[in-house]
Amino acid sequence: MTRLPLKCSALDKLIGGGLEPKIITEIFGEAGSGKTNICLQAARECANSGKKVAYIDSEGVSIERLEQICKGYEKEQILTRTLFFSPTSANDQETMIKNTFKIKDLQLIIIDSLNMFYRLNLDEDKEGSLRSFSRQVASLQKAAREQNLYILTTEQVYTDKNGDIKPFTSRDVEHLVKTIVKLEKTGMGTRDATIIKHRSQPEGKKISFTITQTGIQ
């Protein structure tokens, strides 16, 4: 099984040719840094290949934006093959993730964002939130391996005491995520993407890309 190109040459080159199968790829960055644009472009490319995409959305994704970046593609086929799910709680999200594994012809699972409910519930029930989050990541990694899936997740972030952007996540599950990319705003429509973790690319490797009407370039 080959990588899934995102059709953004700089970003594809950064991560070794596209999304790697059988692993979890995580992207994180502040609001507006391009996370959802990357997810939608990945969905477009996978659906365009004839396979199905499960898009678990807790951020309020714009279907209109997906339609916009499908210019020059068979838009209706892409929209038909991209299945959207909107969880309202951590338990709901956990159930939806498990249900996606049963979808026929599924090739890509996107969770945007994976850690929103973990972050929201952290103060009220830290242990319960951690258990649910850990189960979700473990089940995604297991399915990726056993079903030859691409898994793409986004993570909400916070700023640490040094002013660096970090994802709200648990170190207990970091070993299950094989590719991690950090996104940063650099200007009007321009973004930087930096390798934080990768199996074949050097840590700290950085590229720039642009968000346009027709997608990321």
Query: Is 35 inside a domain boundary?
Result: yes
Q: What is the mean pLDDT of the chain?
A: 93
Query: Is 209 inside a domain boundary?
Result: yes
Q: How far apart are CA 148 and CA 150, in angstroms?
A: 7
Task: Identify the residue with better confidence: 109 or 159.
Answer: 109
When computed from its CA atoms, the radius of gyration of the chain, rounded to whole angstroms, is: 16
Task: Identify the residue with better confidence: 69 or 133.
Answer: 69
What's the pLDDT at 174? 80
| Pairing assessment for the beta strands 106-112 and 52-57 based on DSSP bridges | parallel
Query: Is 114 inside a domain boundary?
Result: yes
Query: Is 203 inside a domain boundary?
Result: yes
Q: Which of 35-44, 160-169, 184-193 has the lowest mean pLDDT?
A: 160-169
SS3 category, 145: helix
The token duo for 123 is 């103060």
> Which residues are CB-contacts of 24 (< 8 A; sequence separation ≥ 6)?
137, 140, 141, 144, 151, 152, 153, 176, 177, 178, 179
Binning pLDDT at 50, 70 and 90, where does residue 170 land?
Answer: low
**121-142 average pLDDT score:** 85
**110-127 average pLDDT score:** 82
Query: Is 3 inside a domain boundary?
Result: no
Query: Is 79 inside a domain boundary?
Result: yes
> Which residue range(s) make up the domain with 152?
9-216
pLDDT digits (tens, 9 = 90+) for 52-102: 999 999 988 999 999 999 999 999 999 999 999 999 999 999 999 999 999
Query: Is 138 inside a domain boundary?
Result: yes
Domain total in the chain: 1
What's the pLDDT at 172? 67
Q: How far apart are CA 107 and CA 76, in angstroms?
A: 18
Query: Is 1 inside a domain boundary?
Result: no
In CATH, what number is assigned to the domain containing residue 205? Answer: 3.40.50.300
> Which residues are CB-contacts of 22 (< 8 A; sequence separation ≥ 6)?
1, 144, 145, 148, 149
